[in-house]
Each structure stands twice: as C-alpha cells, then as structure tokens.
A = this chain, B = another copy of it.
Amino acid sequence: MGAVSGPVNGSPPAPAAPSPASVEEVLALVRSTGGRATASRRVLLEVLFSSGDHRSVEDLAAAVQARAPEVHLSTVYRNLEELERLGVIVHTHLGHGPATYQLAGSAHAHLICERCGRRFEAPEELFEGLGRAAAERYGFTIDPRHFAIFGRCADCPPSRPRDDG
C-alpha cells in the first residue's frame, strides 16, 4: 500500500500524524519544541532519510560515525529517543536482538519465522480483522508494527517441541 500507515482499528485510517519529509523540516520541528539543531542530530537524520528500514542503533551509529567520527553511541541513543518522542521515527522489535529504527512513515508490521528467521512485511490490511475485533471487544487500538508476529514459514516444520538437530 502506498499510503502512510497508522494504527489499525478497523475503521478508515486515521489522518496519521504528518511526518516531516526532510532533514531540515525535522530540525525545524526540533527547534520549535525547544530543541537544538546540532551536528550529530543532523547527521543522524541524514542517515535515517537516506537509507532503508530496520536499522539497529549500532548500524546507525556506524553510519553516523563514518561522517562524524566523534559522535558517541550514547548520543545516538539520546537522539533516537528524542526523535521518537517527536514522532519522527519509530522503533520496532523484530526478534530477540536489538531494536530497529525507521522513519515513522515507513513503519509496517512483520511476520517472522521463529525457526529460520525469514521475514515478511505484512500490509496493514492483514490486521483489519484483528484490529476490528480488538476495538469492539476491548476498545483497544492495535499497532501491530511495534512487535513482530512470530510463527513458522512454509519451509519450516510446524511448531512443536524443538527438534533442532
């Protein structure tokens, strides 16, 4: 789907927060909330805007440090935290490893094979039924993008006492 995605509740998609579309726009947003447009922030944003989804912090830090070697890992963490608080980016847990980050606009849900790790990007519509049911029964609005859904892919034997020989 081409549309910017948002929480799923079975109703027509909510307006969805307008994600800023460029580094400078984000920095303007940062400034407008009392933050500052620092060098490391700018570089981090450039990295985020210029590369794919599902990037670990280590990964992002390496990319940032390629351009600005003095930027510390903890600074990257703090900037990611800030950007997430502003709604610019989002983090996702794809499994047991480190979280992955991406621009809020490009977040999506995942199906992950618990055995071989194979990953499927799941369009929002797959979650319509669940979203509707959760809303009706519990008044709960699901956001299936934050944690992946585990399971078994077609190539891996069905779940059972693990015979991982």
Residues from chain B with a CB closer than 8 A to the CB of A56 are none
Are B140 and A85 in contact (CB-based, < 8 A)?
no
Query: Which of B122, B128, B133, B152 is within 8 Å of A143, CB to CB?
Result: B152
- CB of A69 closer than 8 Å to a CB of B: no
Q: Which residues of B contact A134 (CB under 8 A)?
A: 111, 120, 122, 126, 149, 151
Answer whether residue A60 sits at the interface, using C-beta atoms and an 8 A cutoff: no
Residues of B within 8 A of A149 (CB): 130, 134, 142-144, 147, 149
B interface footprint on A117-153 (CB within 8 Å = 1, 0 otherwise): 0001010011111100110011111111011111111
Taking A17-B161, A86-B161 as given, write out 9 further A-B residue pairs in contact, using a Cβ cutoff of 8 Å, ordered by the A residue number: A84-B162, A114-B143, A120-B140, A126-B133, A134-B149, A141-B151, A144-B149, A147-B147, A147-B150
Query: A97-114 interface mask toward B, CB cutoff 8 Å, 1 = contact, 0 = none?
Result: 000000000000001011
Count of chain copies: 2
* Chain B residues, Cβ within 8 Å of A133: 125-126
Complex contact B85–A147 (CB within 8 A): no
Known contacts A140-B120, A147-B147; A159/B6 CB under 8 A? yes
Chain B nearest Cβ from A115, distance in angstroms? 11
